[in-house]
Amino acid sequence: MSYNIAVDGPAGAGKSTIAKLVAKKMGIVYVDTGAMYRAMALYMLRGNVDPSDEEKIIEKCKEVDVTLGHEDGQQVVYLNGENVNGLIRREEVGNMASAISVIGEVRKNLVAKQQKLAAVTDCIMDGRDIGTCVLPGADLKIYLTASSEVRAKRRYDELTAKGQECDLEKIRRDIEERDYRDMHREVSPLKQAEDAVLVDSSHMTIDEVAEKILSYCEKKA
Ligand code: DC
């Protein structure tokens, strides 16, 4: 049986940074499920699909095969065979991913792939529904959060470091809108699983959060 850690939480809580670090320290694989929704979203953006046109999205998603692979220890997401890692991090793609992920048909296909992968791979998987739906039997479940102000500031710093101009207040509003959509959708909303450990990273460093998760792993073992 494989060893699985589930990490859920809102956008910008630090899930991917932390999960990558924990994966490295434990020698297990990091699986970023958001990248799968983003790849699907990229396909919809390329096809100029209206994010509110559910029927069209369901029809288009039958044309899409999203798969994950690993190259040089890094996750690669393929959209119909094309490596789209470099194209899925834009805000526009994240917003489309959040919009299409409310649709059950979109989720069904991706969740099945995630479950198949986790069944044969020791991994730490992050997303919104990992502890509640994808891996209800995970060995450890973490719900990682931080205040929307802190998350917006982190995103702001990330973008300004890349030389992109941005507005902190707008980022905060976008984050809160995305949280609301992710938490209030009918299918698999973002919520803390009953048996998940809550970690608030607002006033913690990356290393402190990673250490905390590693200590929970030891306790569980
Ligand atoms: O984690 P992220 O920002 O890359 O995710 C992008 C969007 O995909 C997010 O707003 C909601 C959706 N998502 C989801 O519904 N379920 C997951 N397991 C992962 C992401």
pLDDT digits (tens, 9 = 90+) for 79-132: 999 999 999 998 899 989 999 999 999 999 899 999 999 999 999 999 999 999
92 and 45 Cβ atoms separated by less than 8 Å: yes
- Determine the Cα angle at 15 with ends 190 and 64, to 5°: 65
Tokens linked to 64: 């899409």
What is the model's pLDDT at position 48? 97
Q: How confident is the model at residue 164 (pLDDT cuts 50, 70, 90)?
A: confident
For residue 183, the number of C-alpha atoms closer than 13 Å in the C-beta half-sphere is 13
Angle at 183 (CA atoms; ends 102, 23), nearest 5 degrees: 90
Mutate to test the pocket of ligand 1, among 101, 148, 181 (most ligand atoms within 8 A of CB): 101
Measured by CA distance, the residue closest to atom 11 of ligand 1 is: 98
Which pLDDT does position 137 carry in this prediction? 97
Quote the CA–CA distance of 155 and 160 in Å, as a whole number.
9
102 CA: nearest ligand 1 atom: 15
The DSSP symbol for 1 reads -
- Report the C-alpha gap between 14 and 17 in whole angstroms: 5
Distance CA 16, CA 182 (A): 17
Strand order in the sheet with 123-127: 29-32, 123-127, 4-8, 140-145, 197-200
How far is 96 from 201, CA to CA, in rounded Å?
Answer: 26
pLDDT score for 72: 83
* pTM score: 0.93
Shortest CA distance to 42 belongs to which of 78, 80, 85, 88? Answer: 88
Residue 196 CB coordination number (10 Å): 21
**158 with 57: CB under 8 angstroms?**
no
| DSSP per position, 13-44 | SSHHHHHHHHHHHHT-EEEETHHHHHHHHHHH
215 falls in which pLDDT band (50, 70, 90)? Answer: very high
Residue 18 near residue 59, CB atoms below 8 Å:
no
Q: Is the confidence at residue 221, as pLDDT, over 80? A: no
Protein residues with CB under 6 Å of any ligand 1 atom: 11, 33-34, 37-38, 94, 97-98, 101, 127-129, 178, 182
